[in-house]
Structure 1
């Protein structure tokens, strides 16, 4: 009986606390459906798939540029597909003329937002370019990437160089 006297005020306090917290989430602009920080499996999957796709798509070789284009067609869509196509047209000439090999390796991938079938990622790439004669040139690239889950796989839909 003594516990019942304390139970009602405790429930009211807990309900009030829940309302305050949900109000702060709403005012902060945070999307309660955003799983970027709460769903490790989903963030790991999108980071792995997008990172691997970018590593393949941004690695070129004079000996085998067609396989790069084929791999890219499978992972890009929307605006990113057009951006990649324009970049690939420029690189095709350079790769052949200069016997250029470009290797891109994903150094880090962070999922910024993940809601339903959409994701936004920050991807850091380490790139190494080598001409037929000469030492490699290294550079880093930072990309803001938009992705959409399509048929059970992540499709890159937006690319923005930072």
Structure 2
């Protein structure tokens, strides 16, 4: 009886091996499978437990750089945060310092009454300081004495020296009229004003020559009139407040 059962079991095992499907790609050929016999169970060999093992050495080598980069990135972010915080503090301190400097306290746009006062006095001063009549040279000297102070005294003398010489030679009258002005800044008792002016120069020697030519030609001859010379001028005027007046302390003709 035992020999017959043993023979039957051997035939079943042989049939099971012949009908067993081919192992899929990547699956070891010697992996046992369920035979379907009563009480038979599948048994896992060490090859079946490969997927449950920890990562291989190659996987550790690939993951290691990623893990090592994390501390470096965190350090860089922390450093950047510190730098930005320091820059913000420095910028705020610089802004406060600029606002507290006396040179930054410009009231030209806020103190309208003082701005208007400066513009009016500077316009009158420029009209007098840059107008000249050969017949009354003392008027220019008086204007310079009344309206100039500091380095403006020498600047005005140098600027008008050649003009006075030509005007005296041609018996000319030079007239200057301020057409527009703008207060650039007001800092306490000092201010700077940009001035635009029109200038005209008329020589009386031309009129005399024309009159003599008319007398020689007779009453019917027409004398050529002296049309004069006209020009525009621009300059910056620094003024200082003294004894209730704004005196010219410096003149800037922008290279002229």
**Which residue of structure 2 aligns with residue 8 of structure 1?**
none
Ranges in structure 2 where 5+ consecutive residues have no aligned partner? 1-91, 207-225
Change (3 A) 1:71 1:112: same
Contact 2:239 2:249 survives alignment (8 Å): yes
Instruction: Determine the structure 1 residue equivalent to 2:113.
Output: 41
Cα pair 1:53 1:72 within 8 Å, conserved: no
* Max Rg structure: 2
Structure 1 moving runs of 4+ over 6 Å: none
Displacement of 1:56 in angstroms is 0.9
Corresponding position of 1:83: 155
- 1:146 is matched with 238
Q: Is the 8 A contact 1:121 1:146 kept in 2?
A: yes
The separation in 2 between residues aligned to 1:30 and 1:76, in whole angstroms, is: 25
- The 10-residue stretch of structure 1 (89-98 or 133-142) with the greater mean CA deviation from structure 2: 89-98
Distance 1:37 1:159 in 2: 23
> What is the root-mean-square deviation in Å for CA atoms of aligned residues?
2.1
TM alignment of 1:91-130, pairs within 5 A:
91-130=163-202
Question: What is the alpha-carbon distance in structure 2 between the residues aligned to residue 49 and residue 152 of structure 1?
Answer: 11
Give unmatched runs, 5+ long, in structure 1: 1-19
TM-score by length of 1: 0.79
> Is 1:59–2:131 an aligned residue pair?
yes
**What's the CA shift for 1:31?**
5.2
Bigger helix fraction: 2
Aligned 8 A contact 1:62 1:99 in 2:
yes
